[in-house]
Chains A and B, each alone.
Chain A
């Protein structure tokens, strides 16, 4: 690991000013569970590290206006355990519960995880289908970006180098919806997913009133399977109809070979797990 100058601002505004001052040569560190590993492996070599460990607050989890408002410095463990989150968006609590281990979630923050932009992380598929957005702060001011517009590539976002995630806003899960987060783990329980699928479904009189499907670890970013959703919405779902509809995800996934599976295997599994997730949330017996 290279050495670096270490800055300890007391507020997010001071942190934003430091990021602007060092103009792309500084990295922000909160929990540091992801960044420290990248530093140790010399995958990032910043001249300056701006630490948020002295910043007070920005870790509250609140509900107002039909949405959860989660401070960026809340730990991932606190989201998983929050009764407010479980009440309004149980899918989100489950997605955070599946990240790595308790030891990592105790330290890793919500904002850090979002900015890290690893496409195999657990929360993004759920955040996408819940319609989440993030508030960003820089020395130029604040803006809000939908999760759907945040990720561009592996570890790449539309954030500017001097922007800080300050809050995650997650609209409530639809009333009466069923949900699931399937994390396919052929190796160990704490691993990154080989394939992951988050889904929400609402049935009305046996027909699909609402269905949303998000895919993780299947490309450079988390992916929302909109063509699949369109094909299933309004239908009376069966195992066969969902099997057929789920083939459309093969067109949108772009996985890589890694120790968790070959690209071809992950591709095949994407349609299988998309179907299983829909079967779960739409009350269809797996055939």
Chain B
């Protein structure tokens, strides 16, 4: 057995910024984000990919960072909750969660926002059934789910109008 963990150099992009770091091979991506990069917006709750709190996007696709090894994300483009707002200007999904009571304690919210944003990027006008199927892997223990569904519908409307505006 080794006393110093085996390390591997990881080069990846997080929220548009390139990073290079030597990490122990057992480091999960969520730990890398939180402890190595200080990006503590991404939460770890269930640790087995079930609850959705650690949701990020990996090369544009929603993924669970607690069951992704940091070394496995070598070369990837990662987006976290910290990259969603544009400076002080919140993303329409974030605005919608505030306006519609989409969170209370906030522990699940970064994951809910990342999942909702990924949904609206893939399906800009989802039906309620599509919202429920997509979001069923993001658990919330206080607000409940209807306000989250309302938030997503509101964000879809705002983003749809914005997209129509840019076309005109």
- Which of A5, A40, A188 is B47 in contact with, Cβ under 8 Å? A40
Interface contact B48-A32, CB-CB below 8 Å? no
Q: Is A44 an interface residue (CB 8 A)?
A: no
Residues of B within 8 A of A139 (CB): none
Question: What's the nearest-Cβ distance from chain A to residue B128, in Å?
Answer: 14
Given A3-B26, A5-B25, A40-B28, A103 and B64 contact (CB-CB distance below 8 Å): yes
5 contacts between A and B (CB under 8 A): A36-B69, A40-B48, A49-B69, A103-B137, A107-B64
Q: Is the CB of A6 within 8 A of B25?
A: yes
Set of chain A residues within 8 Å of B112, measured between Cβ atoms? none
Interface assignment of B74: CB less than 8 Å from any CB of chain A: yes
Q: Which of B8, B26, B28, B64 contacts A33 (CB 8 A)?
A: B64
Q: Once the chains are docked, how many angstroms separate the CA of A5 from the CA of B115?
A: 33
Report the interface size for chain B: residues with CB under 8 A from the other chain: 31
Q: How close is A9's CB to chain B, nearest CB, in angstroms?
A: 13
Q: Tally chain A residues at the interface, Cβ within 8 Å.
A: 29
- Interface of B toward A, CB cutoff 8 Å: 2, 5-6, 8, 24-26, 28, 47-50, 52, 55, 58, 61-64, 67-69, 71-72, 74-75, 115, 133-134, 136-137
B26 touches A4 (CB 8 A): yes
Contact indicator A2/B63 (Cβ below 8 Å): no
CB distance from B60 to the nearest CB of A (A): 10
Instruction: Tell me which residues across on chain A come within 8 A of B58, comparing CB atoms.
Output: 106-107
Q: At the interface, yes or no: A143 with Cβ under 8 Å from chain B?
A: no
A47 to chain B, nearest CB (A): 10
Task: Report yes or no: A32 in contact with B67, Cβ–Cβ below 8 A.
Answer: yes
Residues of A within 8 A of B2 (CB): 3
Note all chain B residues with C-beta closer than 8 A to A40.
28, 47-48, 67
Within 8 A of B (CB), among A104-131: 104, 106-107
| Given A29-B72, A101-B136, A102-B137, A6:B8 Cβ within 8 A | yes
| A-side interface mostly | loop
- A106 engages B49 (CB within 8 Å): no
A17 at the interface (CB under 8 A from B): no
Find residues 16-54 in chain A having any chain B CB closer than 8 Å to their own CB: 29, 32-33, 36-37, 39-40, 49, 51, 53-54
Q: Assess the A36–B62 pair: CB atoms within 8 A.
A: no
Q: How far is the CA of A4 from the CA of B68 in the complex (A)?
A: 15
Q: Give the chain B neighbours of A2 by CB distance below 8 A.
A: 26
| A window 55-104: CB within 8 A of B | 77, 100-104
A37 touches B48 (CB 8 A): yes
Q: How far is the CB of B91 from chain A (nearest CB, A)?
A: 19
Whether the pair A4, B25 counts as a contact (CB closer than 8 A) is yes
A8 interfacial contact with B, CB 8 Å: yes
> Is A160's beta carbon under 8 Å from chain B?
no
Q: How far is the CA of A53 from the CA of B69 in the complex (A)?
A: 11
Q: Which residue of B47, B64, B75, B133 contacts A104 across the interface (Cβ within 8 Å)?
A: B64
Q: Is the CB of A5 within 8 A of B6?
A: yes
Cα A100 to Cα B133 with chains together (Å): 11
Asked if A3 meets B69 with Cβ closer than 8 Å, knowing A37-B49, A103-B63, A106-B62, the reply is no
Docked pose: A54 CA to B71 CA in angstroms: 11
Give the nearest-CB partner of A1 in chain B: B26
Contact A33 B6 (CB under 8 A): no
Q: B6 to A101, Cβ gap below 8 A?
A: no
Interfacial chain B residues near A104, Cβ < 8 Å:
49, 64, 137
